[in-house]
Amino acid sequence: MYEHLNKLPLLDHDSKIPLHKQVEELLRELIKHPDFKDGELFPKEVDLAKRWGISRNTLRQAIAILVNENLLVRKKGSGTRVSQNRITTNLNNWMSFTHEMEDMGLEFKNLSLKAEMVLASAKVAKHLQLKEGDEVLLLQRTRSIDDSPMVYFESYFHPRIGISADENFEIPLYEILGNKFNVVPVYSQEELKAIAASKRIAGHLKIEKDQPVLERRRVVLDTARKPIEYNICYYRNDWFTYTIEIKRTI
C-alpha cells in the first residue's frame, strides 16, 4: 500500500538541520501524495522511522507539529490520519444547500436522485400538519463535490404546493418553489444532533454502519408560517462542521 515510502528522500544525518525538522518537511510532502486522500490512514510510525533511520520519538516530535497545525489527526488505537478538509457552515442564517455551498465557492452535484409519491408516516404528517397516510412527494438525493458521497437528503413536501415527481430537480429546489409555485421559504425550524449511521444511511453515504453522522431535521415554513417541507439531512461528520454565533444579553 505504501510502496512510495521506498522512494522517499533519505535524511541527511550530517546536516546542521535537526532531524525532526527534516522529517517535518518530508511529512509535509508526504501529506500531498495522491495515496492520501483526505482522511486516509497515514503510514505507520514504525515504517517511517525505519525508512529514515530515526527513533520514533524524533518522528513523533515532527508529527506533533503537524497535528498542532491540524494537518494530521492522531487517535489512540487507530493511528494517524491526514486531516479532512471540512466544510464549515453556520446556523445564524439559512438558505438552500446549493446556494449555501455556492457562497463558499463549492459546486455540488447529485450522485443519486429519486422523487416519488409516498404515504406520510406519523412523524412526517405531524411536521407537515397532515393526516397520517396522506400522499406527499418524497425527494431523495445524495450529493457531493466529487464522486464520494458527502450528504444525503430526504425531503417531504406539503401536497398543497402542487410539486410533483416530474420536476427537474437538478435546478436548486427553492428556485423551483419560488419561480414555478410562488412559494417562498421564510422560516426554518431546525434540530441538529449526532447519531450512529443506520445500515440504510451508511449505504447512501458509503460509510461503515454505526459511524457517527450529523443529522439535521428541518421544517421549512412560508410567510404565513405554514409548513412547506420537512427535510432530514445526513452529513458525513468528517466533511461538515456547523457553527453558531450567539450574542450575550447585557
Say how far apart CA 17 and CA 27 lie, in whole Å.
15
Q: What does the pLDDT read at residue 156?
A: 98
Q: Which of 42-46, 81-85, 116-120, 211-215 has the highest mean pLDDT?
A: 116-120
CATH of the domain at 183: 3.40.1410.10
pLDDT, average across residues 69-83: 74
> How is residue 41 annotated by DSSP?
B
Final residue belonging to a domain, choices 55, 82, 109:
82
Looking at the chain, the whole-number percentage of residues with pLDDT higher than 70 is 79
Q: Are residues 71 and 126 in the same domain?
A: no
Say how far apart CA 71 and CA 68 lie, in whole Å.
8
Q: Is the pLDDT of residue 1 over 50?
A: no
Q: Is the pLDDT of residue 68 over 80?
A: no
Q: Is the pLDDT of residue 99 over 80?
A: no
- Count structural domains, the chain: 2
Q: What does the pLDDT read at residue 136?
A: 97
Q: What does the pLDDT read at residue 217?
A: 93
Q: Report residue 24 as a C-alpha cell.
A: 517535518
Q: What does the pLDDT read at residue 210?
A: 92
CATH of the domain at 40: 1.10.10.10
Q: Does residue 198 lie in a domain region?
A: yes
Q: Residue 43: phi, psi to the nearest 5? A: -55, 150
Q: Are residues 56 and 95 in the same domain?
A: no
- What is the SS3 assignment for 186? coil
Final residue belonging to a domain, choices 26, 51, 82:
82
Q: What does the pLDDT read at residue 79?
A: 75
Q: Does residue 250 lie in a domain region?
A: no
- What is the SS3 assignment for 57? helix
Q: Are residues 52 and 69 in the same domain?
A: yes
Q: Phi-psi bin for 241: left (phi > 0), alpha (psi -120 to 50), beta?
A: beta
- What is the SS3 assignment for 64? helix
pLDDT band of 219, cuts 50, 70, 90: very high
Q: Is the pLDDT of residue 103 over 70?
A: no
pTM: 0.61
466529487: which residue's cell? 146
Q: Residue 27: in which H helix or E strand, if any?
A: helix 19-31
Q: Does residue 248 lie in a domain region?
A: no
Looking at the chain, the whole-number percentage of residues with pLDDT higher than 90 is 35
Give the relative orientation of helices 45-52 and 19-31 as an angle to the nearest 10 degrees.
120
pLDDT, average across residues 100-105: 56
Q: What does the pLDDT read at residue 9?
A: 81
Q: Are residues 133 and 172 in the same domain?
A: yes
Domain that holds residue 58: 3-82
Q: Is the pLDDT of residue 93 over 60?
A: no
Final residue belonging to a domain, choices 21, 49, 82:
82
Q: Are residues 91 and 64 in the same domain?
A: no
Other beta carbons within 10 angstroms of residue 59's beta carbon come to 22
**pLDDT tens for each residue of 142-152:** 998 888 888 99
**pLDDT tens for each residue of 174-196:** 889 888 999 888 888 888 899 99
Q: What does the pLDDT read at residue 119?
A: 97
pLDDT band of 30, cuts 50, 70, 90: confident
Mean pLDDT, the chain, as a whole number? 83
Q: Does residue 249 lie in a domain region?
A: no
Q: Are residues 185 and 93 in the same domain?
A: yes
